[in-house]
């Protein structure tokens, strides 16, 4: 089992360009797995972890409700935002500047074969990272992601998650609001959940901005521990 993960930070990159790149990496892993099963080739499958920040974009999961987007695509264009219906689970979400987006593209057979556990570990990675800033985050029963003040009128989400998996290979991932412009969340019903709001790390800390590179380091530290993985930086696509 290969528990080495190739890390790439793509910087600020268009959503569709990144989605296409995810699909390439995803297919490469699937092709190796298919070859192994047909030919007993015994080839090692790679694992990837992409960090990226997207320009303003709204994405709707395959089971999502288009009505949860509260403005027209014309109005989105006026706000320099785009829209895509995509092949992950979950409903509608937003990506934009000030948000750390992570796409682990893993062969879970290198780690464990349990999608529920995979999502819970991604949540735990964020919960542990927030704890380093003195913040107590938690899960909301039946609602994937990371939240504050669950069960109160002040419940708010700081990290959304949505994944796709095939033959135990994952893609898509998490979106962690660090210095996000929360006004864009008013243009939709986030994840189709009407009675809870959204927050960002800088808001919770009462700061103008939070060092995003530092947040990424903390996320990776906890990811490595939780997945018992090693991480190497890949400098070229």
For the residues of 80-113, what is the DSSP string, one character each?
Answer: T-EEEE-SSSSSEEEE-TTEEEEEEE-BGGGT-S
As annotated, the active-site residues are 191
Q: What domains does the chain contain, in order, with CATH numbers?
A: 4-233 (3.30.930.10)
Higher pLDDT: 194 or 155? It is: 155
- pLDDT tens digits for range 207-221: 999 999 999 999 999
128: part of which helix (H) or strand (E)?
A: helix 115-131
Consult the annotation and say whether 90 binds a ligand: yes
Q: Which two tokens stand for residue 139?
A: 């899960």
Q: Which residue has the tokens 């709707």?
A: 60
| Contacts with 12 (C-beta within 8 Å, 6 or more apart), sequence order | 52, 53, 54, 55, 97
**Band (124; pLDDT cuts 50, 70, 90):** very high
Q: Which two tokens stand for residue 230?
A: 């090693």
User: According to the model, what pLDDT value does residue 66 have?
Assistant: 79
Query: What backbone torsions phi and psi does residue 59 show, to the nearest 5 degrees?
Result: -125, 145
What average pLDDT does the segment 50-54 reach? 98
The β-bridge relationship of strands 156-166 and 169-177 is: antiparallel
Report the mean per-residue pLDDT for the chain: 92
Consult the annotation and say whether 64 binds a ligand: no
User: According to the model, what pLDDT value does residue 193 have?
Assistant: 55
Consult the annotation and say whether 95 binds a ligand: yes
Consult the annotation and say whether 175 binds a ligand: yes
Higher pLDDT: 61 or 90? It is: 61
């Amino acid at each position: 089992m290969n528990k080495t993960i190739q890390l790439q930070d793509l910087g600020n990159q268009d959503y569709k360009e990144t989605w296409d790149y995810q699909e390439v990496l995803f297919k490469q892993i699937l092709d190796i797995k298919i070859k192994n099963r047909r030919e007993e080739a015994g080839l090692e499958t790679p694992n990837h972890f992409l960090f990226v920040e997207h320009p303003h974009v709204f994405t709707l999961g395959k089971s999502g409700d288009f009505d949860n987007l509260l403005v027209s695509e014309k109005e989105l264009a006026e706000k320099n935002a785009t829209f895509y219906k995509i092949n992950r689970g979950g409903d509608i979400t937003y990506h934009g500047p000030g948000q750390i987006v992570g796409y682990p593209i893993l062969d879970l057979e290198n780690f464990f074969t349990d999608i529920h556990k995979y999502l819970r570990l991604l949540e735990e990675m964020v919960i542990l990272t927030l704890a380093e800033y003195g913040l107590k985050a938690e899960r909301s029963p039946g609602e994937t992601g990371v939240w504050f003040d669950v069960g109160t009128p002040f419940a708010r989400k700081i990290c959304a998650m949505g994944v796709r998996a095939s033959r135990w290979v994952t893609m898509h991932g998490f979106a962690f609001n660090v210095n996000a412009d929360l006004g864009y969340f008013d243009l939709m019903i986030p994840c189709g959940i009407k009675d809870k709001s959204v927050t960002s790390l800088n808001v919770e800390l009462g700061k103008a901005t939070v060092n995003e590179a530092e947040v990424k380091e903390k996320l990776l530290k906890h990811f490595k521990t939780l997945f018992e993985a090693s991480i190497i930086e890949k400098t070229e696509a």
